[in-house]
Structure 1
Amino acid sequence: MANQRLVQLLSLSFISGCFCIGIGMGFFIRQGQWQVSEASNIETETEFYLVAESEPLPETKKTVLDTVTIKAVGDIIPGTNFPDYRLPTSPDKLLPKSVRGYLQGADIVMGNLESTFTNHPHTPKNISRGQVFAFRSPPSYTSLFAEVGFNVFHIANNHAMDFGPVGFADTVKNLTDVGIKTLGHKDQILYLEANNMAIAMIGFAPYGMYNSIHDLAAAQALVTEAKKNADIVIVSMHAGAEGTAALHVRNQTEFFYSENRGNSIQFARKVIDAGADLVVGHGPHVPRAMEMYQGKLIAYSLGNFIGYRTLSTKAQTAYSMILEVKLNSQGELVGGRIIPIHINNQGIPEIDQYFRTVGLLRYLNKNDHLLGPIEFNQQGEIVLVKADSNN
C-alpha cells in the first residue's frame, strides 16, 4: 500500500510552469504565528428538506490503471439580491480566467452552494435578527458554473432553504437544467460514470432533513450500499464550527452558536470504515488540516471559494484552494495537490502566487495531531508520510 512507504511523492501532470512561482520562497509556518480572530458571522439555523434518490449505474469494464480526477472547492455564495443588491456588474467577474483554467481537466468538479438560485420573493427567515442571513442569487448564474466545469453542487447546508421549499425546488431545477447534479438529498446516493468507472457520491450535514452526520449508523449503511454498486465512493460533509477560531479540527463534538455541528473526525473515519474512498469537508469557512486514514484522504475543510460581498475575507477566511485528487479504480489515491487561492476583499477568488494556503496547511497538518497527517511540498503536491514516523 502507498502509505506503507516512508515517504512517497504523489503528483499529477501539472500545467507546465504554473507553480514555478514560489519555489524556494520558503512557505514554512512556525507554530503560534497565526492570528485568531472572532468567528465569522454566518447563519446557523436548520431548515426543511425534500427527498431525491438516484439509481446505480450498470457495471462497466475497468482496470486498475483507470483513474478519475476530482476537483473540489469549498463554500460558494455568488452574491445576493436580497434584502439589498450585492451582485457584480457581470457574473463573469465572479471567476477570473486564471482561476477557470485550474477547474478544467477533471471528471468531477464539485463545490458547496451556500445560496439559492431563485426569484422567489419570500424568505421564512427573520433576517431582522442578528446573524441571520438569507441569500438569493439570480438563476441565470447557474450557466456560469456549468460553463467553467462544475457538475456537482452540495446543497445540504443551512442556506439551502433560505427561500423555503419553493426556492429550494427552484435551485435544484435551475442547476439540473444546466447539467449540474445536486448532492445531499435525504437517503440519496448520486451515481455518476467516468472512465469506465461507477462513482457514488453522498452528501451529509448536521440536520435531520438531510443525511445527518449525527446518525453514524445510517451514514455507514448508505456508504456500504454505495460501495456495493460503485468502484469509488466520495463523501461530502458539511460539518464543524466556523471562522478563524475554528482553524484546528479536533476529535470532539463542535458547536457554533449553540448548534451541534458534529464531530468531523469521528464521522469521516466512520464512513471510511464503511467503504468511502474520499471525504471532502466544508462549512467552517476556513481551510482545515487533511489526513490519510486507512489509506484514504480526508480534507476536513476547503474553506471559502466565492463569497461576493457576503462572506468575511479577514485573515484565514481569505485562504482558499482547489483540491485536486486522482483515484484509481480501487479507490486508491495516486495523485493530489492543492491549488492555492486567495479571496480578495470583494469575495472573488484569485490564484495565490504567494502559496499562503500551502503554508497554512503545512502548519495545520503538523500541529493538529491527526493519525496520518499529510505533508505538502512547496508546489502544493501531496507528500505521504508513514503515520508512525510522526510525533
Structure 2
Amino acid sequence: MRIILTGDSFITRRTAHDDPAVNELHDYFTKADIRFTNLEVTTHDHQGYPAPVSGGTWAMAPPNVLDDLLQYGFTIMNIANNHTLDYLHDGLLATEKELTARDIPYAGAGRTLTDANSPRYVETKAGRAAFIGVTSTYSSGWEASDANRYVSGRPGVNFLRSDAKHVVTNEQFQVLKDVASATSINSDQELLVKEGFELGGDGDEVTVGNIRFTTSENVKGASRVREPHKADMKRLIASVNEAKRQADVVVVSIHSHEMTGTAKDQPADFIQQAAKALIDAGADCIVGHGPHILRGIDIYKGKPIFYSLGNFIFQNDSVTHLPKAFFDKYGLAEEATIADALDARSHGGTKGLIANDDVWTSVVVDMTWENDQWTQISLRPIDLGKDKPRYQMGFPTLTNDQEVINRIGRLSEPFGTKINKDGEVVC
C-alpha cells in the first residue's frame, strides 16, 4: 500500500485551469493508493455566523475549492483543527455537506463526539486504511459532545486536551499565594466551588487565574510539565483499537500548534506522549500538522511519527471575507477593506507567517507499506511561492530543494531519525 501524506491545506482560491504544477502533483499523487491532507478552512456559502474567536483568521472558502483538492488527487481529509468552527456549528455542518456531496471521506469532526472520534476508512486494491482525526488546538466550546437520554449531542471537533503541572520553588509558591490573596483573582472561582458549580482543586495547589501551581521540597527551579488528558486518550485509544481490527493500516492525524517553550519547530511534550501511546495502542503512523512549519520525524517501535508536515497549500492572506471583530482588533475604520486588514496584521508583509521563510517550503511524504511495516519513506520538497505577490502565493510546486531536506533532517536528529540527501528515511 502506497500512501501520500501532506500537511495543511489552507486553500481560499481556485487553481488556474490546466496548471502544470497541479498536473505534476496530480500525476505523482495518483500513483499512490491513498492521498491525505488536512483541510484547514470551512467551505460554504456564508452559512453560519462568525465565531467570537477564530483560529487566527476566519477561514471561509467557496465550496468549489474542494474540487481543486480533488484535482490534486486527495482521497481522505482531516477536518479537526483550529478553524473547524470559525463559523460555528452551521459552518461546520455546511462544510460536511459539501464534503459528502463530493464523496470525500473526512475524519476529526462531526455532529457528535462519537462521529468526530470514529475512524474513517479508505478502500483500495492494496488494502484498507483507517484514519482518525484529532486536534489539540481549538477554541473553548468547539468540543463535540455525545447525546444522553435527556439532551442531544453537539457538533464539534475531536479534541485532545493537556493537563499542565506548573512546579515552582517554595518561595515562588508563597509569592503566588500572596498575590492571589491580595488581588482576589480567584474569588469568582472560589464562589463557584463553594456553590457547587465547579469542583475544587488540590489543597497543595494555588491557582492564579486558570493556571495551577504546585511545589515540593526538592524543586530547585520553576518548570512546566504537560500530559495528555486521560479521558481523551482513553477515547482515542478505543478508536485506534477499533480501527486496528478493521483495517490494514491505521493513521492518526493530529493538529497541534503547541510547542516546547518558544521553539515552534519542536512538538509539545504531551503531543509526543500521546503519539507514542497511540502507536502502543495499535496505530501504524501519526501525521501531524498545525504550526505551518516542519517539525522532526520520530520512528517509534518501527512506526513513523511526523510531528508536522508544514503546509501543502497556504493562502491565509487571500481570504475574501472577515468579520467586524478582525477590523476592530487592528483599529481599522468601517470603510477599511480586506486588503487593509491583511496589511495591518502583517505590517505590510513584514511580520507574521507571511514573512517566515520556513512557512513557504515543506515536504510531501511518500510512504510504502507491506505486511504492517513501512518499507520506504521518501520526502519530496515543495515550494509555495514566497517571492510572489500575496494573491499568488500559497500553491505548491514540486522541487529538489536540498535545504528543505537538510532542515527536516536536522529537526529529526534529536529523535534518532536519519534522512539521506535524497530525502529517504533510512532509520
The answer (yes or no) to whether the contact 2:59–2:83 under 8 Å persists in 1 is: yes
Residue in 1 that maps onto 2:267? 249
**What code does the residue aligned with 2:309 have?**
L
**What code does the residue aligned with 1:349 have?**
P
Report SS of the residue matched to 1:248. Answer: strand
Looking at structure 2, the residues matched to 77 and 94 of structure 1 have their Cα atoms a distance apart, in angstroms, of 20
Structure-to-structure mapping, 1:104-143, within 5 angstroms: 104-120=30-46, 122-126=48-52, 132-143=56-67
Q: Does residue 317 in structure 1 map to residue 241 in structure 2?
A: no
Summarize the Cα distance change of 1:362–1:196 in structure 2 as closer, same or farther, 3 Å threshold: closer
Range moving further from structure 2, 114-123 or 143-152: 114-123
In the alignment, structure 1 segments of 5+ residues that lack a partner are 1-67, 80-86, 253-262, 385-391
Structure-to-structure mapping, 1:64-75, within 5 angstroms: 68-75=1-8
Residue in 2 that maps onto 1:293? 300
Summarize the Cα distance change of 1:246–1:177 in structure 2 as closer, same or farther, 3 Å threshold: same
Report how far residue 105 of structure 1 moved.
0.9
Q: Does residue 306 in structure 1 map to residue 313 in structure 2?
A: yes
Looking at structure 2, the residues matched to 171 and 122 of structure 1 have their Cα atoms a distance apart, in angstroms, of 10
The answer (yes or no) to whether the contact 2:107–2:117 under 8 Å persists in 1 is: no
Report SS of the residue matched to 2:131. Answer: strand
Report how far residue 160 of structure 1 moved.
1.3
Residue in 1 that maps onto 2:422? 379
Report SS of the residue matched to 1:339. Answer: strand
Report how far residue 164 of structure 1 moved.
2.2
Looking at structure 2, the residues matched to 353 and 196 of structure 1 have their Cα atoms a distance apart, in angstroms, of 29
Looking at structure 2, the residues matched to 279 and 89 of structure 1 have their Cα atoms a distance apart, in angstroms, of 29
Summarize the Cα distance change of 1:141–1:200 in structure 2 as closer, same or farther, 3 Å threshold: same
Report how far residue 312 of structure 1 moved.
2.7
Structure-to-structure mapping, 1:344-359, within 5 angstroms: 344-345=385-386, 346-359=393-406
**What code does the residue aligned with 2:252 have?**
V
Deviations 1:81-107 (A, max 9, x none): xxxxxx468476695433333322111
Report how far residue 354 of structure 1 moved.
2.2
Looking at structure 1, the residues matched to 101 and 18 of structure 2 have their Cα atoms a distance apart, in angstroms, of 19
**What code does the residue aligned with 1:137 have?**
A
Looking at structure 1, the residues matched to 315 and 18 of structure 2 have their Cα atoms a distance apart, in angstroms, of 12
Report how far residue 75 of structure 1 moved.
0.8
Report how far residue 165 of structure 1 moved.
2.0
Whose RCO is larger (CA < 8 A, sep 6+)? Answer: 1
Deviations 1:172-211 (A, max 9, x none): 2212222321111323111222235232211111254233
The answer (yes or no) to whether the contact 1:233–1:276 under 8 Å persists in 2 is: yes
User: TM-score, normalising length from structure 2?
Assistant: 0.63
**What code does the residue aligned with 2:132 have?**
I
Report how far residue 153 of structure 1 moved.
1.2
Given candidates 117, 129, 135, the residue that maps to 1:187 is 117
**What code does the residue aligned with 2:420 have?**
N
Looking at structure 1, the residues matched to 359 and 258 of structure 2 have their Cα atoms a distance apart, in angstroms, of 13
Report SS of the residue matched to 1:312. Answer: helix
Report how far residue 240 of structure 1 moved.
3.4
Report SS of the residue matched to 2:4. Answer: strand
Given candidates 373, 376, 383, the residue that maps to 1:342 is 383
Structure-to-structure mapping, 1:68-217, within 5 angstroms: 68-79=1-12, 87=13, 90=16, 96-120=22-46, 122-126=48-52, 132-185=56-109, 186-195=116-125, 197-206=127-136, 208-209=143-144, 210-214=157-161, 215-217=232-234
In the alignment, structure 2 segments of 5+ residues that lack a partner are 110-115, 145-156, 162-231, 318-352, 387-392
The answer (yes or no) to whether the contact 1:155–1:182 under 8 Å persists in 2 is: yes
Number of corresponding residues: 292
Report how far residue 115 of structure 1 moved.
0.6
Summarize the Cα distance change of 1:125–1:188 in structure 2 as closer, same or farther, 3 Å threshold: same
Deviations 1:322-343 (A, max 9, x none): 1111112x32011110110122
User: TM-score, normalising length from structure 1?
Assistant: 0.69
Report how far residue 357 of structure 1 moved.
1.7
Residue in 1 that maps onto 2:170? none
